[in-house]
Amino acid sequence: MKTADRFQYRIYTIMAVMCAAGVVLLGQLVRWQIIEHHQFVALAEAEHQDELVIPPRRGEIRDRNSHLLAADIIEYDLSVSPKIISDPYSTADRLSGLLNVSRDDLVKTLDGDATWLPLAHGLSQTTAEKLVEWDIVGLQVEPRARRVYPEGEMAAHLLGFVNSNGNGFYGVEGYYDSMLRGKAGLRTGERSPFGQIIPLGISHFVPPISGASLDLTIDRNIQRLIETEIEQAVVGYGAQRGSVVVLNPNTGAILGMANYPSYDPNNYSASNDRLFFDPNVSEQYEPGSVFKIITMAAGLDAGAVSPGTIIYDGGYMEVGGRVIYNWDRQGHGNVDMTEVLAKSLNVGIAQVATALGKDRFYTYVKRFGFGRLTEIDLGSEGPGTLKTPKEANWYESDLGTNSFGQGIAVTPIQIAVAVAAIANDGLLMQPHVVERVVAGEREIKVQPTVVRRAVSNETAQTLTGMLVAALEEANSEALLPGYRVAGKTGTAEIPVPGGYHPTLTLASFAGYLPADDPQVLVLVIIDRPTSSRWGSRTAAPTFRRIAEQLVVLLDIPPDEVRLARSE
Amino acid sequence: MIRRLPWRLDSQAASGFLLILGTFALVGWLYLTQASAVTATSYRIDELRLEIDQLKNRNAALRLEIAELEALPRIEQRARALGFQPTTNVRYLPVTNYPTSGDEGIGAESGSSYGREPVDMYAAEPAPSAWWLRMLDDFAAWLEGRSVTGY
């Protein structure tokens, strides 16, 4: 190559490189000036724009009589930047009296080189106002909302709790979290070099919207009553734990729901997190003989049996290759349907189920809401476990065992709602704990919702009569003088790997009163009682103790007085 | 030939200049007055907002304090300390012809009766006047040597 050509080649190369660099620069300029223009403008504005998020006030939770069950309190946290504290000694002098902290400790903290340190938590408003008034450079006072439950442990499972970040968990707090928390406000404006918003600058204020307040269907007097009684029952019968559900069968409104042991939502972090789940809606159990109410309702409604139907109880029966025995391993001869309930005969009720047939039996079981959520307005509800003939793990013998509540797992709320359907003339109601939502000036009243008709009106009334007669025939400890009570005990064996526990049981009783016009339903569950394994000896008397106080609280006069009044 | 005096020209220019200056000063003064008023109002609004928040917080704290004082365990403890006992035996007394909530009269006001017909409990015996009852009480107190207390 000639020298001139070489130079020309080099010039072209340099020009090409410079053109490429120019293109790159131009591209970058286009990117900054056009494509990412808004991003850089926003970045520049952010330099002198201040944005303050104003947290909303979380809504209150009250009982049906407007007693406060949960509310927010504003507390203040104090922090310090020791590096910019000009006079640690005089600051310590002033703070020690106000915070009730030793002066020496404060001097040690304030005289350090740390950039930032927390100094005190949970200060009152008066203290915080004093600190703001002093205006000491280097001290920061920050407000913080804390959820308080003034009744302590009362209704802890039902209410749930709110963590330090303001998020609601479990119960009402969890279910209605988005409604309770409200909407944060925002204040934006141009910032002065000292970090304050310039009054004459462009500013914008969106006020926070407080969360909705909830009025529950719970009556705190009933809640207190059942909590006291279930605690005494669990301790008295040497049980591990217990649960009670009280509801209005006509509306599905929960009047009280209690568990023992419980926890204090004010100090939830000190409790075992296994306690946070509400056993009444989250945990499933085998219901045992209480489930005979459902099987009998199905049998009566389908016309498979009537109250007068006589069956022969030989003490055992084979269903699908599995032998079913009565609880007492005895045969009771010819018995009618009321006796089947009164004596809680597994053989008798299994005959009702086989007379119904598997398809009709499980159709009715589903109609009563088993195997699916009740859709109660509480967090962490479980659906229970229901095997049906369509499933591979269902066996013919399940029809027999399911008829008396074995091999089927339900939640207490499912059982309560299903039995309430019998009390409510066959209509299955959706259970609910919120009666009214109050959001500002708006008020929404929750209306009772009928889920479906489980059985006919006649079936429900006939069965109620049979349940009353059965309790009276058995001289049940659930009976309350002056009132006709309908109900059924249950003593369920506890499933363990490979079968059932040889001695431990889960005792329960579901009943309602007054039988002719049911106003209240109570379900009592006592888990692993040791003084007696039978529901009739543990859950039934607990039901009576609760019922005799409930009639006073709910102002339900004895049948004689009430019926005389209505005549 | 008429000639305008230079000093007259200067005077007009100066007046014009002063007028413009005065106008600017007035506008400036108005702007500053307005700006300072807006600033002061803005600070005042901020203060009032803060005060509202503080009052709301105080109100919430007081409501909570009331709720804590009204908490059932506390009331029960207090009631027991005063010698009260839980009700264990409640009996309903059927009163014939007691006024019901649907009837006019005492029963209707209280709304807590289960009778059928209204009845005047004092119909057979006219109710004594308050002054008479008070005099009887005072007399009984005088007989027993107690001090007479006012109503």
Query: Measured between CA atoms, how close is B74 to chain A, in angstroms?
Result: 9
Q: Is residue B3 part of a domain?
A: no
Last residue of a domain, one of B50, B75, B100: B75
Same domain as B17, residue B71: yes
Q: Is residue B22 part of a domain?
A: yes
Is A561's CB within 8 Å of B56's CB? no
- pLDDT, position A428: 96
- Give the nearest chain A residue to B101 (CA atoms): A565
- Give the nearest chain B residue to A223 (CA atoms): B72
Is residue A493 helix, strand or coil? strand
Q: Is residue B64 part of a domain?
A: yes
Same domain as B109, residue B60: no
Strand boundaries in A177-240, DSSP class E: 185-190, 203-206, 213-216
- Give the nearest chain B residue to A146 (CA atoms): B61
CA pair distance A133, A121, nearest whole angstrom: 18
CA pair distance A384, A85, nearest whole angstrom: 61
Query: Measured between CA atoms, how close is B83 to chain A, in angstroms?
Result: 20
Query: Measured between CA atoms, how close is B18 to chain A, in angstroms?
Result: 30
- Give the nearest chain B residue to A71 (CA atoms): B64
CA pair distance A263, B63, nearest whole angstrom: 23
Q: Is residue B100 part of a domain?
A: yes
Contacts of A555 in chain B (CB under 8 A): 112
Last residue of a domain, one of B40, B75, B110: B75
Q: pLDDT (tens digit, 0 to 9) for every residue of chain A, 567 residues total?
A: 677 788 888 889 999 999 999 999 999 999 988 899 888 888 887 777 777 788 899 999 999 999 999 999 988 899 998 888 888 898 898 898 888 888 888 888 888 888 888 888 888 888 988 888 888 888 888 888 899 999 999 999 999 999 988 999 999 999 999 999 999 988 887 777 666 667 666 678 888 899 999 999 999 999 999 999 999 999 999 999 999 999 999 999 999 999 999 999 999 999 888 899 999 999 999 999 999 999 999 999 999 999 999 999 999 999 999 999 998 889 999 999 999 999 999 999 999 999 999 999 999 999 999 999 999 999 889 999 999 999 999 999 999 999 999 999 999 999 999 999 999 999 999 999 999 999 988 999 999 999 999 999 999 999 999 999 999 999 999 999 999 999 999 999 998 888 889 899 999 999 999 999 999 999 999 999 999 999 999 999 999 999 999 998 998 989 988 887 766
Strand boundaries in A307-347, DSSP class E: 311-313, 316-319, 322-325, 333-335
Q: Is residue B45 part of a domain?
A: yes
Q: Is residue B20 part of a domain?
A: yes
Q: Is residue B58 part of a domain?
A: yes
**Residue B111 reports pLDDT greater than 60:** no
Q: How many domains does chain B have?
A: 2
Q: pLDDT digits over A84-104, tens only?
A: 888 889 889 889 888 888 888
Closest partner CB to A565 (pick from B58, B87, B116): B116
Same domain as B16, residue B68: yes
Q: pLDDT digits over B118-150, tens only?
A: 333 333 344 456 666 667 767 776 776 655 443
Query: Measured between CA atoms, how close is A454 to chain B, in angstroms?
Result: 34
Same domain as B68, residue B30: yes
Phi, psi (degrees; rounded to nearest 5) at B57:
-65, -45
Q: Is residue B149 part of a domain?
A: no
CA pair distance A403, A405, nearest whole angstrom: 6
Is B94's CB within 8 Å of A564's CB? yes
Is residue A64 helix, strand or coil? coil
Domain ranges, residue B49: 8-75
Is A199's CB within 8 Å of B39's CB? yes
Closest partner CB to A200 (pick from B38, B94, B112): B38
pTM of the model: 0.79
Same domain as B99, residue B59: no
With an 8 Å Cβ cutoff, is A220 touching chain B? Answer: yes
Q: Structural domains in chain A?
A: 39-58+184-211 (no CATH), 72-150 (3.90.1310.10), 220-566 (3.40.710.10)
